[in-house]
């Protein structure tokens, strides 16, 4: 038996081509590489061709995104069933292949499919941080709202253990959720995170260095105070004003948000103190556990 070419057997293109003194098995090695002439319908080597002859085509990346201009002449497969091409990593906001991904990058509407829910278990501060980091890369505001809503109780358990970076991600996500055109779900999410997030927002506010981040933080805290005015007394208004002064920010939007916060703090309902005291006691018991 002739000595096989190690380039060809390894699936690599042999630099010697047809003049190679070693054996090129036509159905091994480089036959894993598709024959471009066969795909175009005019390979003259037939069974002796060193490259793959197959009628099974690789998926067309452009067709998967609705951008293929080659139509029926395209040498890649045009799969007619889009449900088989959806990238589930992209649905979770964690596909790192970008335009090179062979599957469809598509944001599905909430309720269209169960795939739009985030079903990973959050049972540690590390997993909570990973959850927030992945979700912050997702471009769909409705998806983010749905994911936070589904994970609101587990996430609440670890708010007090989040770092300032994760707190920043959470405030950014909540601000996006407020724009997701689902006010009912958004306002049902806020009370679950309310007290713990407000109390532990101090450490995040102290390190804010950008005007946009301070506005985002203030906006979310206004929503918290609006939905549950019993918690408004705990909003760190003094820290927000102090950070605004430290950064030398003069912004009418931010001033308006702080005025609203002050209104909620000074006009809280009579039951606010009692309600807040009960929740604070619950929080202390949780932390002690």
Encode pLDDT of 76-91 as tens digits: 676 655 445 566 566 6
Q: What is the mean pLDDT of residues 258-269?
A: 83
The residue-averaged pLDDT of 224-230 equals 87
Tell me the C-alpha distance between 24 and 17, whole Å.
Answer: 9
At residue 155, the pLDDT reads 92
Q: What is the pLDDT of residue 120?
A: 65
Distance linking the first and last C-alpha atoms of the chain: 73
Provide the pLDDT for residue 138: 81
Query: How far is CA 198 from its chain centroid?
Result: 24
Task: Write out pLDDT tens, residues 94-124.
Answer: 676 766 676 666 654 444 444 444 556 788 8
More confident residue, 61 or 163: 163
Average pLDDT value for residue range 34-46: 72
Confidence check: pLDDT of 222 > 90: yes
Q: How far apart are CA 5 and CA 24, in angstroms?
A: 6
Alpha carbons 183 and 166: distance in angstroms, whole number? 24
Percent of the chain clearing pLDDT 90 (strictly above): 29
CB atoms under 10 Å from CB of 159, counted, come to 21
Give the CA distances from residue 210 to residues 40, 213, 219, 237, in Å, rounded to whole numbers and listed in that order: 56, 5, 14, 17
């Amino acid at each position: 038996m002739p000595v096989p070419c190690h380039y060809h057997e390894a699936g690599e293109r042999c630099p010697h081509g047809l003049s190679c003194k070693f054996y090129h098995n036509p159905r091994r090695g480089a036959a894993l590489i598709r024959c471009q002439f066969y795909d175009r319908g005019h390979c003259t080597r037939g069974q002796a061709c060193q490259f793959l002859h197959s009628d099974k085509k690789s998926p067309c990346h452009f067709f998967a995104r609705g951008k293929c201009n080659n139509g029926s002449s395209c040498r890649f497969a045009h799969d007619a069933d889009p449900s088989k091409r959806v990238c589930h990593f992209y649905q979770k906001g964690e596909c790192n292949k970008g335009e090179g991904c062979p599957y469809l990058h598509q944001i599905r509407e909430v309720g269209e499919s169960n795939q739009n829910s985030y079903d990973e278990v959050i049972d540690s501060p590390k997993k909570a941080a990973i959850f927030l980091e992945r979700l912050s890369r997702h471009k769909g505001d409705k998806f983010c709202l749905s994911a936070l809503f589904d994970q609101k109780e587990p996430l609440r358990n670890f708010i007090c253990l989040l770092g300032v970076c994760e707190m920043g991600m959470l405030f950014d996500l909540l601000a996006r959720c407020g724009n997701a055109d689902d006010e009912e779900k958004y306002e049902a999410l806020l009370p679950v995170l309310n007290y713990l997030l407000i109390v532990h927002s101090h450490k995040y506010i102290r390190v804010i260095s950008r005007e946009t981040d301070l506005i985002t933080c203030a906006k979310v805290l206004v929503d918290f105070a609006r939905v549950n005015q019993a918690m408004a007394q705990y909003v760190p208004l003094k820290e927000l004003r102090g950070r605004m002064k430290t950064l030398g920010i003069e912004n009418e939007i931010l001033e308006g948000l702080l005025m609203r916060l002050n209104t909620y703090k000074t006009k809280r309902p009579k039951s606010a103190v009692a309600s807040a005291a009960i929740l604070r006691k619950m929080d202390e018991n949780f932390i002690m556990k």
